[in-house]
Amino acid sequence: MLPRSGVSRAVLLGRHEGIRLLPAFRVRAFSSTVPKIPVRQEFSRLPQAQGLYNPDNEKDNCGVGMIANLKKAESHRIVKNALQVLERMEHRGGCGCEVNTGDGSGALFAIPDTFYRKECKTAGVELPPNGRYGTGLMFFSKADGVYDKCKTVIEKHCAEKGFEVLYWRDVPTDNSTLGPSSLACEPHVKQIFLAPKNTDISALMLETELMILRRRFERDIADNVATAEDWTQEFYPCTLSSRTIVYKGMLTPEQVGQYFKDLRNESFETYLALVHSRFSTNTFPSWSRAQPMRMLCHNGEINTLKGNANWMQARESVIESPQLGAELTQQMLPVIDKSQSDSGSYDNVLEFLYHGSDRSLPECMLMMIPEPWQNDGQIDEDTKAFYRFYSNVMEPWDGPAMIAFTN
């Protein structure tokens, strides 16, 4: 019943044994003084479609790095090394005529529970055990009333989905090194902490429910609060997870550690980091389109994006997750947020496949980006059978040069 194939609607979110794929690795830096300039209400510099420019053609060519302790031993050294990797990717990122306004840079970390527990305790908030609460950084426009309106919507959906908001934290930042363009659209950066009222919920289901919750309030804010055509100019949740946290922005690689004071705190300890330096190919930078996304860092261009997005949209009328059922599946739709870049669109589909099925993350990745297997004599027949099966289910997202990913 899926468009363009005879595969049943359950196959896309059904079960098949996964194949492991290890993330790859790669290994930027500016600074200057900032003049006094007026502040924009939006935190995106993306213009509307005009003349030969169309935001649908936004593409990224970037630098990606990854560092981890294989024994999951947490330390601040991981953070320092990750930022050093990022700073050394100057040649992989971009900036405008201002050397201190970058196309976007950031880092994804495994949640530094000890650090957040200490910060919350200072504010009189006791966090549940590690892995039993969700958190995420969120961007809010500095326009009057936007934060309060968005906060009301977010807390309403949290209550409806059975979550208790524990704390809204002001993320400490230092914008003294930002360039004029980045500073003009700098957002308020807040961090939410929330916990499920159902204490028996599994770790995986908690992560799925947090993703669904995020999509619900995203859609509500886009439809009923945001006044800009691109709602991410006024509000953007970098992530909402019980496992990972993303620090990013319209920054150069060197500015990431300077801007986010958390990352300079020795108590900020983790065992995993993905870093990304964005080079927007003939396009415009913004705070929300910086990477990492929620599950990945991407280098390259997805050349088949429009076709991939159209086929994904065509499936939405019949698709249903066998794990979650029809109601929760509908709460994850639409799969692709049209305000996203090619990398953001890929990330939308990846988290939908991962949370909507019992597939492993590497299996979802290989469904979407199969290697060129048809005429490769070095690939065994079982692996070719895997790719042949999924070629009837999902069109390849063709073009990425490299992707690092994590759940």
Task: Give the list of residues 6+ apart from residue 220 with CB closer than 8 angstroms, or none.
Answer: 153, 157
Asked if 298 and 64 touch (Cβ cutoff 8 Å), the reply is: yes
Q: CA-CA distance, 352 to 356, in Å (whole number)? A: 6
Q: Where are the alpha helices (DSSP H) in 260-377?
A: 305-315, 325-331, 342-356, 361-368
Asked if 286 and 145 touch (Cβ cutoff 8 Å), the reply is: no
Q: How far from the centroid of its chain's Cα atoms is residue 364's Cα? A: 16
Residues in the chain: 407
Classify residue 199 by burial, with Cβ atoms within 10 Å: 0-12, 13-18, 19+: exposed
Per the structure block, which two tokens stand in for 300? Answer: 């390259």
Q: Is 297 a catalytic residue?
A: no
264: left (phi over 0), alpha (psi -120 to 50) or beta: alpha
- CA distance readout (Å), 45 to 101, 174, 175, 214, 287: 12, 20, 17, 24, 8
Q: How many CB atoms lie within 10 A of CB 227?
A: 12
Known catalytic residues? 62
